[in-house]
Structures are given as C-alpha cells and as structure tokens.
C-alpha cells in the first residue's frame, strides 16, 4: 500500500500542476506498475484546482481505464476537493 | 502605441477604453490620462504594465498626470513596473486587505509563491479566498503554459469596500488565443477562438476528449462559470476578439452554459489588435456562491456538454 500525502507536496491550496505531474510520474504510476494500491491523502488540503487534479489523475485513468479507481483511494478530502476530483474522474470516463 | 486612461473604465464600460487603444508603432508607448479623475479596473493597469514591459523604459512617455488619483496608480506599482519615475511623492498605505499591486509572474514556482502570499493579504473568508485563489491560479497558469510570452503574466487586484467586491485583471503579450486554439481547431477569427476557448474540454493542445495529461481545456470555462453564477462581469480580449459576460440582475436565476453564445453577453471582432490575451473579472463577495455548490453545477454542465459534443460526432443513418 502506497500512501501519498498531497499537503506535504502541494500545500493547503493544491494548484501547482508541475507538482501534480511529478507525483503522478514518480509515485502513482510506478506504484500501479507494481500492482500496489494507493491512498492519496488530502488531509489539510483546503482546495485544489481542476488543473491540479487533472495533471494528477487524467493520464492514470487514460492509461489504466476507469478500473484503476478500484486501486486508488482518496482520504480526508473536504467537499470542494471531492467535487473537483469527481469532475475530473467523470470527464475522463465519458 | 498609445493608451489613454479615462476618468472611468470598469468592466461594464471598458469597451470605449479598449477601442481607444492604438497598437501602431509598437516600439514606443505613450500614456495619457484624464486630467481630473482616474478610476479604473485593475485590468486596465495590467494592460498598461504588460505593454510597457515589451519595450525599453526610455521609449515610454507618460503625460504629466494632474488627477489626484495618480497616487492610486503609483500605489498600485504601475510606474515602478514600467521603470519610470512618478513626478510626485505619495503616501504608501499598508496593502493588507485592499489591493494586490501590479505583479509580473513568469514561472510556475513564482505563481505558487504569489498565491500563498496573496491569500492572507486579502483578508478574506476561507470560501472567498478559495474562489479568488482559484481564479488567479488558473488564469496565470494559462499564460505560463500557453501564451509563449517571455514577459509572463501581469496581474493586479483591488478590493472595493463600497461594492464589497474584488476585481482582478491579468494581461499578457503572448501569442494570443487564436494561435493556441488553432493548433487543434480551425477558428477563423479571434472572436471565434475566444468563444471556443470558453467551452469546457476545448484546448489547443489536442482535439481528444479529456485533453492531454497536462491540459483539459476547462480553466476558462470554470472562471466564466464562477462569474456567471455570481452574476458578475467577466471580460476576455485577445487579438481583435472581445467577449464580455454581462452582469445578470438578481431576478434572473443564473444558469451555467457550456456554450458562451447562450450567455447574456456582448462581443466584437473589431477591437484594436492586442498581441496576447487580457482577462478581467469582478467577484462580488456579498453573493459569492459557496464554491462547492458551484462545482455541482459545473460538473453537470461539463458532463452534458461532453455528451452533446460526442453525440454530434456520431454517424447518422443514411435513409435512402
């Protein structure tokens, strides 16, 4: 089980897409390649932009399909973050 | 280039100010101003600063300002960023809670630092801070990623106590929306390109639904949606294309539209040519819809727009 703390990397306002890209390439994709499950922990993240979540997740969903969401859990998300994630996950599966 | 600061230029009445901009002779900049009073939206200052950054400071001529409000321009950092001396002394006020001076942002790291420092400066409620931070981040990142401008983004913002609103302006002197959009779509005019860029899921980086791994083509749609739900003005101007989302009266229940044509707006494709992109937005804090509620509406509109676009590409049966 791989745990990734988003606050530690992006702060309370997760908006830097370069950081999201680095997390995706250096942590999420390698963990999935090793068949590991992943917890993305959003504790203390007050808001995230759609661009940040897109850079974090879109390529993962495109590469592995919607089924990859069975292997990724989102922990401690507030309502705003949950909804932004929901929007990105939706349109990537349309 | 010539630009004149009128006595009033806010998003509601910004059209004459823009029409008065003279883009010819782009190696010089002449700034003139109303001699009695200057009261302008931050986007006006961002535009002037962005223009000034494209040329040597010695080629900028600034008329001797007579208006008392010249102090405002100095306090917002306009003369400083242009590299010209103001011919007067002014009292510098503590900026907290009032304004964000004209700021140039060229890199992703600079933007993150700026947003981190900006939010406490504005002394906003957490929900309001989310909205303003969101807008600044998405707009400035658009410039950094798509504008190809070595001068980056120029932005400033001002809190207006009387209307309890924040007005934000951002300008760049990059390639403009049409050139970016035309990498994937065939927009014939600047206005057409602007309207395409406002639609969810349309990005110049690809025609593929869902975008690339770094771009979804959703940023401007989100920002227009924030303005629309809050019944506020939103202006976007690139090349000769100009689109203004008009303020809605409180009697009209705001509805999100994926297609900007369906919003109450004004437009022109005959504005003086701006090499780059300008965005101005007003956010009334009294009626700022809770951000998470706004996201529900965006999710629904976004999803419907994608389904309709996909359906429009379905092959139709040929009945003979």
What sign has the CA pseudo-torsion A82, A87, A93, A94? positive
Asked if B102 has any chain A CB less than 8 Å from its own CB, the reply is no
Q: Which residue has the tokens 């001076």?
A: B101
Number of domains in chain A: 1
Across residues B218-244, what is the average pLDDT? Answer: 94
- CATH number for B185: 3.30.565.10
* Residue B72 domain flag: no
Which residue in B137, B210, B291 is closest to A58 by CB distance? B210
Cβ burial of B23 (10 Å; 0-12, 13-18, 19+) is: middle
Q: What percent of chain B is predicted at pLDDT more than 70?
A: 93
Taking only the tens place, the pLDDT of each residue in B24-48 is 999 999 999 988 888 999 999 999 9
Contact B137 A13 (CB under 8 A): yes
Does B91 score more than 80 pLDDT? no
State the Cα–Cα distance between residues A50 and B194, nearest whole angstrom.
Answer: 20
Identify the band that residue B98 occupies on the pLDDT scale cut at 50, 70 and 90: confident
pLDDT recorded at residue A51: 96
Instruction: Tell whether A29 is within 8 A of chain B (Cβ).
Output: no
Going from the C-alpha of B283 to that of each of A76, B77, B272, the distances in angstroms are 29, 22, 27
The string of pLDDT tens digits covering residues B201-225 is: 999 999 988 899 989 999 999 999 9
Is B32 domain-assigned? Answer: no
For chain B, the domain total comes to 1
Residue B289 has what pLDDT? 59
Assess if residue B222 is contained within a domain. Answer: yes
Task: Answer yes or no: do B137 and A18 touch at CB < 8 A.
Answer: no
Asked, for residue B304, whether it belongs to a domain, the answer is yes
Give CA separation, B90 vs B18, B69, B71, B87, in Å: 29, 11, 6, 10
Tens digits of residue pLDDT in B154-192: 999 998 888 888 999 999 999 999 999 999 999 999 999
A91 vs B216: CB contact, 8 Å cut-off? yes
Which residue range is the domain that position A33 belongs to? 2-93
Counting one residue from A and one from B, how many pairs have CB atoms under 8 Å apart? 96
With cut-offs at 50, 70 and 90, classify the pLDDT of residue B86. Answer: low
Residue B302 lies in a domain: yes
Provide the pLDDT for residue B87: 63
B226 touches chain A (CB under 8 A): no
**For residue B251, what pLDDT is reported?**
66
With beta carbons under 8 A apart, name residues in chain B contacting A18.
108
Report chain B residues whose CB lies below 8 A from the CB of A16. Answer: 108-109, 111-112
Q: What is the mean pLDDT of residues A28-49?
A: 96
Min Cα distance A61 → chain B (Å) is 10
Question: In this predicted model, what pLDDT tens digit does every residue of A5-21 receive, in sequence order?
Answer: 999 999 999 999 999 99
Exposed/middle/buried for residue B167 (C-beta within 10 Å: 0-12, 13-18, 19+):
buried
* pLDDT for B315: 81
Whole-model pTM: value is 0.93
Q: Which of B127-141, B173-187, B235-249, B302-316 has the lowest mean pLDDT?
A: B302-316
Which residues of chain A are within 8 Å of residue B140 when distances are taken between CB atoms? none
Using a CB–CB cutoff of 8 Å, tell me whether B312 touches chain A: no
Q: What is the pLDDT of residue B173?
A: 97
pLDDT of residue A2 exceeding 80, the answer is yes
Residue B34 lies in a domain: no
Nearest to B87 by CA among B102, B104, B70, B112: B70
Chain A residues close to B122, C-beta within 8 Å? none
* ipTM of the complex, rounded to two decimals: 0.92
Task: For chain B, give the mean pLDDT.
Answer: 89
CB B206 within 8 A of CB B180: no
Whether A50 contacts chain B with CB within 8 A: yes
Position B49 in a domain: no
Q: Residue B214 and residue A47: Cβ atoms within 8 Å?
A: no
Q: Do the chains contact at A54 and B302, CB–CB below 8 Å?
A: no
What's the mean pLDDT in B70-82?
Answer: 88
Please tell me the predicted confidence (pLDDT) of residue A57: 97
The minimal CB distance from A47 to the residues B134, B215, B306 is found for B134
pLDDT of A37 reads 96
Q: Using CA atoms, how far apart are residues B154 and B147, in angstroms rounded to an integer? A: 12
């Amino acid at each position: 089980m791989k745990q990734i703390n988003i606050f530690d990397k992006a702060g309370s306002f997760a908006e830097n897409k370069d950081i999201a890209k680095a997390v995706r390439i250096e942590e999420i994709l390698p963990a999935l390649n090793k068949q590991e499950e992943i917890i993305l922990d959003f504790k203390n993240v007050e808001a995230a932009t759609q661009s940040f979540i897109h850079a974090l997740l879109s390529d993962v969903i495109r590469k592995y399909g919607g089924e990859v969401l069975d292997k990724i859990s989102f922990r401690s998300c507030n309502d705003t973050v949950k909804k932004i994630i929901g929007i990105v996950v939706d349109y990537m599966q349309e | 280039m010539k630009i004149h600061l009128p006595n009033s230029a806010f998003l509601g009445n910004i059209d004459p100010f823009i029409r008065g901009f003279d883009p010819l002779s782009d190696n010089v900049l002449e700034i003139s101003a109303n001699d009695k009073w200057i009261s302008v939206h931050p986007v006006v200052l961002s535009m002037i600063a962005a223009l000034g950054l494209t040329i040597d400071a010695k080629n900028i001529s600034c008329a001797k300002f007579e208006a008392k409000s010249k102090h405002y321009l100095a306090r917002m950092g306009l003369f400083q960023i242009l590299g010209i001396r103001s011919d007067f002394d002014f009292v510098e006020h503590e900026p907290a809670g009032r304004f964000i001076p004209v700021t140039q942002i060229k890199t992703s790291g600079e933007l993150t630092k700026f947003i981190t420092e900006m939010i406490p400066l504005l002394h906003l409620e957490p929900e309001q801070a989310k909205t303003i931070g969101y807008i600044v981040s998405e707009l400035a990142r658009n410039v950094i990623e798509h504008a190809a401008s070595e001068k980056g983004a120029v932005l400033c913002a001002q809190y207006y106590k009387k209307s309890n609103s924040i007005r934000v302006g951002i300008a760049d002197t990059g390639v403009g929306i049409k050139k970016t959009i035309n990498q994937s779509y065939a927009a014939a005019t600047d206005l057409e390109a602007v309207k395409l860029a406002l639609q969810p899921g349309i990005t110049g980086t690809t025609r593929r639904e869902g975008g690339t791994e770094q771009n979804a083509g959703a940023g401007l749609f989100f920002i227009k949606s924030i303005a629309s739900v809050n019944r506020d003005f939103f202006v976007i101007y690139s090349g000769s294309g100009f689109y203004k989302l008009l303020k809605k009266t409180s009697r009209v229940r705001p509805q999100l539209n994926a297609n900007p044509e369906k919003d109450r707006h004004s437009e022109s494709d005959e504005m003086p040519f701006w090499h780059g992109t300008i965005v101005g937005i007003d956010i009334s804090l009294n009626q700022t819809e809770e951000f998470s509620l706004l996201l529900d509406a965006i999710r629904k509109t976004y999803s419907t727009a994608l389904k309709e676009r996909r359906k429009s590409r379905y092959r139709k049966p040929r009945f003979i």
